[in-house]
Amino acid sequence: MRIETAGQDALIVYFADQTNPMVSATIQHAVTIIQAEMPEIIVDLVPSYASLLVIYDIDACDHFEIKRRLREALYDPDITNLGERDLVILPVYYSLESGPDLKTIADRSNISTDEVIDIHLGREYRVYAIGFAPGFAYLGEVDERIATPRLATPRQKVPRGAVAIADRQTAVYPAQSPGGWNLIGLCPTRMFDPSKEPSMPVKVGDQIKFERIDRNEYISLGGTL
């Protein structure tokens, strides 16, 4: 574990150089410890793949104190198992109609589009980070056979619910936005709804399993094309 200065009121804790589910679980554990032990000095926490950004209240605590308290609290944050995680099922309508980049991904690995879909469905994914936009969850990691770099030219409009791949990450777009990820399907579940409590169906550390649905099911679950 390495603590670096990020800014006047922020430190970043690096837990590893690369990520894996254990590193991510350790970070999640650190978030829990910090929230429990020093809520009065914490403004915001941003867990990500291998790091945790800690934004603190400089009117309540100085640079030395926060560093000391973090070192103490995170003295032995390594954990030996991945702990209890919530499993969230997200339905996806995979098709060439809803996933215009399925063919590109298939061609890259000389496999069929159905194989791409089966491979994407074939494992559970961990929520490594949430950011970029409200409700945008970075899920990892997809099988190497379907890992695909971002589009050279991002699309102006990616629809809400688009299920996408960028390198070994996959995600569901929470709102219509520009985007450069490869689109493979559409998910009718709202990933961010500010009027709901909780406003997101997933959180960092959750396990995600995709489930294939057909066009009619997609529409009946509220999806639009």
We find the least distance from the C-beta atom of residue 43 to another protein, in angstroms, to be 5
**For another protein, which stretch binds (CB under 8 A), given 95-103, 127-135, 156-164, 208-216?**
127-135
**Token pair in block for residue 166:** 């960028």
Q: Is 12 in the site for another protein (CB under 8 A)?
A: yes
Q: Is 159 in the site for another protein (CB under 8 A)?
A: no
At residue 65, what are phi and psi to the nearest 5 degrees? -65, -45
We find the least distance from the C-beta atom of residue 114 to another protein, in angstroms, to be 31
We find the least distance from the C-beta atom of residue 14 to another protein, in angstroms, to be 8
**For another protein, which stretch binds (CB under 8 A), given 6-14, 73-81, 117-125, 211-219?**
6-14
Q: Is 178 in the site for another protein (CB under 8 A)?
A: no
Q: Which of 34, 117, 164, 204 binds another protein (CB under 8 A)?
A: 204
CB 34 within 8 A of CB 41: no
| Integer angstrom CA distances of residue 87 from 82, 125, 127, 181, 207 | 13, 10, 11, 24, 5
**For another protein, which stretch binds (CB under 8 A), given 46-54, 75-83, 90-98, 148-156?**
46-54
Q: Is 129 in the site for another protein (CB under 8 A)?
A: yes
CB 50 within 8 A of CB 40: no
3-state secondary structure of 115: helix
Q: Is 84 in the site for another protein (CB under 8 A)?
A: no
Site size toward another protein (CB under 8 A) is 43
DSSP string, 102-113: HHHHHHHHT--H
DSSP string, 164-224: EEEBTEEEE-SS-EEE-SEEEEE--S-S--TTSSSS-S--TT-EEEEEE--HHHHHHTT--
CB 138 within 8 A of CB 127: yes
Q: Is 10 in the site for another protein (CB under 8 A)?
A: yes
3-state secondary structure of 39: helix
Q: Which of 18, 110, 153, 216 binds another protein (CB under 8 A)?
A: 18
CB 189 within 8 A of CB 171: no
Residue number, 100 or 134, with CB nearest to another protein: 134
Query: Residues in the site for another protein, rule: CB under 8 A?
Result: 4-10, 12, 18-19, 43-53, 55, 58-59, 62-63, 129-136, 138, 174-175, 192, 194, 199-200, 203-204
